[in-house]
Amino acid sequence: MALAEAGARGRLLRWPRVVLFGDSITEYSFQENGWGAYLAERLVRKCDVVNRGISGYNTRWAKLILPRLITESTSADNIAAVTIFFGANDSALKELNPKQHVPLEEYAANLKGMVQYLKSVDITADRIILITPPPLQESAWEKECLAKGDKLNRSNATTGQYAQACVQVARECGTDVLDLWTLMQKNQDFSSYLSDGLHLSTKGNSFLAAQLWSRLENKLSALPSLLPYWRDVDHTNPEASLL
């Protein structure tokens, strides 16, 4: 059978997508032992896990980009889940990092606007997960800043305010939320979760992956494996199994 004929006979194979939208913590998530790579491995043959992390970005910039990533013409039923993971840059201290800083109220409004946009293109609230910024280990991040000739430009207390705002937006919008800032500090020293005080270490990636999977598993567990297991293909008439 010619390839063109086979294509005409068979239905278009469309993998559902899980879209990861965020800053550098998302961009780096496909590195070795990254939380995005973990999800992709868990969902192979069920979903494409799409990395749309953009290092250094804040919600002010992200809200402008989101409609260019997920458009009205995008089939909403093909998107299984979307994570929105910003705040580590928004919460930078204004006087020391004015370029990335976004005021707290605007940050909340931007998150809410992005959720409302997704809903407007028929991505329902149960498919949206907000993720708060992780806690900041100030002494480690200060070393990174000093190495670049800068002063410590973030604080854990301020990051916590942004995390609380993220949780509140999720509550108001009816979406799920993963409160990393709180969970990572619960009854433990959180420094081992971070590689440089801000970004995730291998342990931090594993922690986030496990927490996120516990929320995604119920949403995605019913998705079938795409294409039959190889032992189930009729080798004498593969067209019957595959088209």
Return the active site residues: 24, 196, 199
CA–centroid distance for 57 within its chain? 14
Question: How many of the other CB atoms lie within 10 Å of CB of 52?
Answer: 17
Q: Which secondary-structure segment (H or E) carries 144? A: helix 138-147
AA identity, residue 32: E
Q: What angle do CA 221, 225, 229 make, to 5 degrees?
A: 140
DSSP 49: E
Closest CA to 100 of 89, 109, 111: 89
Q: Distance (Å, rounded) from C-alpha 51 to C-alpha 136?
A: 23
**H-run or E-run covering 52:** strand 48-53
- Left (φ > 0), alpha (ψ -120 to 50) or beta: where does 122 sit? left
Distance (Å, rounded) from C-alpha 143 to C-alpha 145?
5
Chain centre to alpha carbon of residue 75: 19
